[in-house]
Chains A and B, each alone.
Chain A
């Protein structure tokens, strides 16, 4: 029986691949490339920024996970790490930076203040950036140790590998998300229900048929 380079039996329907060829799905390949080259955009506003710098430094090297450069331009990054509390005055700036990043993009909310407002439940601190920005990973801690941030990056890499697509379909949530029922007008609701519910469809068509 003939064997190909990988040691598997080379029968009909099996490709004979040389050693330096890998066959994969396009999505998986794209995910692998993207997850291993996450370039962070450090949005460091407070103390967590120091820990972010420490994570990028030589002892807990973040570059070995693909975060080779901390680009400070949103146009050149794919991962925004919000490290530190975000005040009311800074929130529109954060939103603008987020909108300027190109897709595919992800967001890590680092520390207690970015995730929930932390200890600062005051008139000026936003109680969690996920109220206004879509967040993919939360890192608890005040500040989180560099190892925790690295764990978040690893978890984000797993998430990208699991859920990513080459065209970024996973970011188009409007097709997957249903609008809140209470906010939909009644006649719109009927149309929506008809599209999904065969009983309503039958009733509507019977009523149309009769009239």
Chain B
């Protein structure tokens, strides 16, 4: 993918307002890492800069990754339908240290992009990251009575027996 120079200008504009942000360009794809306190402001700013489409919100669990500093890496994929630019925003969060909170919390962008509604629900369902300010944060793909967050690295692939927790219907009482 050829490198888009206009994204460089965008990045300089971005870093001007938000301090030094770590940016990487890999095979023409630009990625910006922003610390959690400033993530909502950066994403709001990017919406004003023409990134009107939120392509995806997803997460990576770096639990067993060598050299990982924080456990979860949220990924926001943004695109501009007017200028054809694409940008990736990374936000790294960690499990909360205090016992009162059970899940890491970030602020929701559902007010900025409507698509974030279900995308953040999916991240909550599969990774267990709460989105503060989300209109209706509940499970999307797993059944609502499911308790675990299956795409975390400490959840086994075959599950913990939830998939076989059903009554057996035999021939007599069907």
Q: A121-B158, A122-B157 are in contact. Are A131 and B143 (CB under 8 A)?
A: no
Interface of chain B residues 45 through 63 with chain A (CB within 8 A): none
Q: Is A127 an interface residue (CB 8 A)?
A: yes
Q: Mark A115-150, 1 if CB is under 8 A from B, else 0.
A: 000000111111100011110000000000000000
Q: Mark B141-171, 1 if CB is under 8 A from A, else 0.
A: 0110000001000011111101110111111
Decide if B169 touches A124 in the complex (CB within 8 Å): no
* Contact partner, A89, options B143, B150, B159, B174, Cβ 8 Å: B143
Report how far A98 CA is from B164 CA in the complex, Å.
18
* Across-interface contacts of B157 in A (CB, < 8 A): 121-123
Report how far A195 CA is from B98 CA in the complex, Å.
64
B148 CB to nearest chain A CB (Å)? 8
Interface of chain B residues 109 through 166 with chain A (CB within 8 A): 142-143, 150, 155-160, 162-164, 166
Decide if B169 touches A134 in the complex (CB within 8 Å): yes
Decide if A124 touches B166 in the complex (CB within 8 Å): no
* Contact partner, B143, options A88, A122, A173, Cβ 8 Å: A88
Report how far A123 CA is from B162 CA in the complex, Å.
7
Q: How many A-B residue pairs have CB under 8 A?
A: 62
* Contact partner, A173, options B155, B156, B164, B171, Cβ 8 Å: B171
Decide if A99 touches B142 in the complex (CB within 8 Å): no
* Across-interface contacts of B170 in A (CB, < 8 A): 134, 173
Most buried by B among A88, A89, A99, A171: A88
Q: Is A172 an interface residue (CB 8 A)?
A: yes
Q: A122-B157, A124-B150 are in contact. Are A173 and B169 (CB under 8 A)?
A: no
Decide if A122 touches B142 in the complex (CB within 8 Å): no
- Interface of chain A: mostly helix, strand, loop or mixed: loop
* Across-interface contacts of B171 in A (CB, < 8 A): 134, 171-173
* Contact partner, B159, options A92, A99, A123, A131, Cβ 8 Å: A123
Q: Is B172 an interface residue (CB 8 A)?
A: yes
Decide if B163 touches A124 in the complex (CB within 8 Å): yes
Decide if B155 touches A123 in the complex (CB within 8 Å): yes
Report how far A65 CA is from B80 CA in the complex, Å.
56
Decide if B163 touches A125 in the complex (CB within 8 Å): yes
Q: Is A174 an interface residue (CB 8 A)?
A: yes
Report how far A95 CA is from B170 CA in the complex, Å.
11
Decide if B163 touches A127 in the complex (CB within 8 Å): yes
Report how far A64 CA is from B100 CA in the complex, Å.
66
Report how far A162 CA is from B174 CA in the complex, Å.
22
Report how far A132 CA is from B156 CA in the complex, Å.
23
* Contact partner, B166, options A92, A99, A105, A173, Cβ 8 Å: A92
Decide if A123 touches B166 in the complex (CB within 8 Å): no
Report how far A124 CA is from B167 CA in the complex, Å.
16
Q: Is A69 an interface residue (CB 8 A)?
A: no
On B, residues with C-beta under 8 Å from A are 142-143, 150, 155-160, 162-164, 166-172, 174
Q: Lowest 9 CB-CB distances: which A-B pairs, in order? A: A123-B159, A174-B172, A173-B171, A134-B171, A88-B163, A89-B143, A132-B166, A171-B171, A123-B150
